[in-house]
Amino acid sequence: MRAWGALILAGGESRRLGTPNKALLSLGGQTLIGRVASQALKLCKTIVVSLALDADEEAFRKTLPAGVQFVRDEVKGLGPLEGLRQGMRKLERLGVEYALTLACDLPFLNVEALRFMLEEAERLRVEALIPRWPNGFTEPLHSVYQPKPMLQALEEAITAGESLIMEAVGRLSRISYLSVEELRRFDPQLLTLTNINTREDLERAKRMLRLGLAGG
């Protein structure tokens, strides 16, 4: 395998789902984060999961493959920037050149779409490759980053009091925005970008699995 790694962010709150951590919700016989990790492992030998400061690491270990490594927030109140900072720091130390960076609630990740993104980031030698919708909306947690420059950008953004991932991304020098339409050749319905934010989203995902509309 190339020097690819994956960072899965699992430190977010799940207020709309009414549960302490949606990463551990079950879908199709697996937890949401288990589904994400199993797909990432098909491409990356190094998987790092970023947890909140007070997360129960043992609960995550029980649901994830052996060999997955963990980092934990060191500062509260910084949102996803802190989880990304700790994850990128770990991946840089592990020698990862390109890091697939994923939210924990993406149940239908398409491996070929992810492979294309990693290869495209490598080919273009960019510091970030981020899918972008026609309306300009971006998918920073279904993206590829180079850990070293992204870590520096995150440090600068946090020092400046910024809180959005895209504010940190804006500090990078070489960014490629990938039209989501380019992913349709691997995933015509763009299910890879589906995430779970509400109970309705979760029930819809369960229904899709029952009807065979998405990979199990």
Q: Are 84 and 9 in contact (CB under 8 A)?
A: yes
pLDDT at 1: 53
Token pair for 113: 């779409």
CA distance 216 to 214: 6
Q: b/e map of 69-96 (b: 16 or more CB within 10 Å)?
A: ebbbbeeeebbbbbbbbbbbbbbbeeeb
CA distance 127 to 153: 10
- pTM comes to 0.95
Listed residue (48, 51, 45) closest to 23, CA to CA: 51
- Domains of the chain (ranges; CATH) run 4-210 (3.90.550.10)
Q: What is the pLDDT of residues 61-81, one digit of tens each?
A: 999 999 999 999 999 989 999
Show the beta-strand stretches assigned E in the chain: 4-9, 26-27, 30-31, 46-51, 69-72, 98-103, 128-132, 142-145, 175-179
Residues of the chain with pLDDT under 50: none
Q: What is the pLDDT of residues 152-186, one digit of tens each?
A: 999 999 999 999 999 999 999 999 999 999 999 99
Listed residue (180, 95, 101) closest to 137, CA to CA: 180
β-bridge partners, 48: 7, 69
